[in-house]
Amino acid sequence: MKSEPVFKNAIVRPPTPNFADGLTTAGLGAPDFARALEQHGRYAGALAHHGVAVVTAAPDAAFPDATFVEDVAVMTPGGAVLMRPGAKSRAGEVASLRSTIASCVPIAGAIEAPGSVDGGDVCAAGETFFIGLSSRTDEEGARQLGEILARQGFAVRIADVRRADGLLHLKSGMAWLGGRRLLAVDALARDPAFEGYERVTVPDDETYAANAVAIGGRVLLAGGFLKTRRAVEAAGLEVVALDMSEFQKMDGGLSCLSLRF
């Protein structure tokens, strides 16, 4: 099993013109669709530039949040585990993306009612998976996913995202940087689930920057968060900054925009 964040493939899905109709609590105004599309293209381009084979799924205007593909599945060495999103308006996204996922990897399982899990609440960290309990992921869903992961030989740790005010998902507040090192906001880093891990701390006024994507010794980081960037660079990692302004308006971050495997 990998001790560094290395992946060779990613599934992405561009936003649709009704992107602004999606779910959000950010209070930052409506996103500009043209700018969101441009930012999404740069994101996919950054992945490709750093050696990732990018599969682009067809947009689906039936689901304004469908560009946030990470919530639909959790990718494991045994295949994809299909999630059961906690927001009712997003339930159909799993079926909408299933054929694309199945064309890339086997389907290894699925979360079943009454459990719910958003993929944004699941962080793979080498031999360990962190699962966050949140407004979108409940105890039953976490139990089901934990059992599937345990059968594949992974350790599972449960964190309570609900204790950290303002975080929608686990990965709204943390990212795995490799080894036993995490990028995390302070409120989340104090959770007992992260005991034994070194934390690169995200300042309270830059919480959004905690949602990052690491590829080996490189980190895709939301642009404009200079204190977090300096902290990541001080940890010996190269930063690739990307403008994420339009996705931030819709409660989305860098990790949300791809399924990586």
Q: Give how far the C-alpha of residue 59 lies from the chain's centroid of Cα atoms, to the nearest Å.
A: 19
- DSSP H/E element including 55: strand 53-56
Task: Kindly state the DSSP code that residue 204 receives in the 8-state scheme.
Answer: G
The DSSP annotation for 10-35 comes to EEE----TTGGGS-----S-PPPHHH
Residue 7 tokens, joined: 């992946």
39 vs 145: CA distance, rounded Å: 32
Q: Peptide bond preceding 106: is omega within 30 degrees of 0, i.e. cis? A: no
Q: Is 104 a catalytic residue?
A: no
Q: Is 169 a catalytic residue?
A: yes
Helices (H), the chain: 33-49, 93-102, 139-151, 186-189, 226-234, 245-248
Q: Peptide bond preceding 64: is omega within 30 degrees of 0, i.e. cis? A: no
Give the SS3 label for residue 73. strand
* Among 40, 50, 104, 169, the one annotated catalytic: 169
261 vs 2: CA distance, rounded Å: 12
171 vs 174: CA distance, rounded Å: 5
* Among 40, 49, 104, 256, the one annotated catalytic: 256
Main-chain dihedrals φ then ψ at residue 143, nearest 5 degrees: -65, -45
Query: Which residues have a catalytic role annotated?
Result: 169, 256
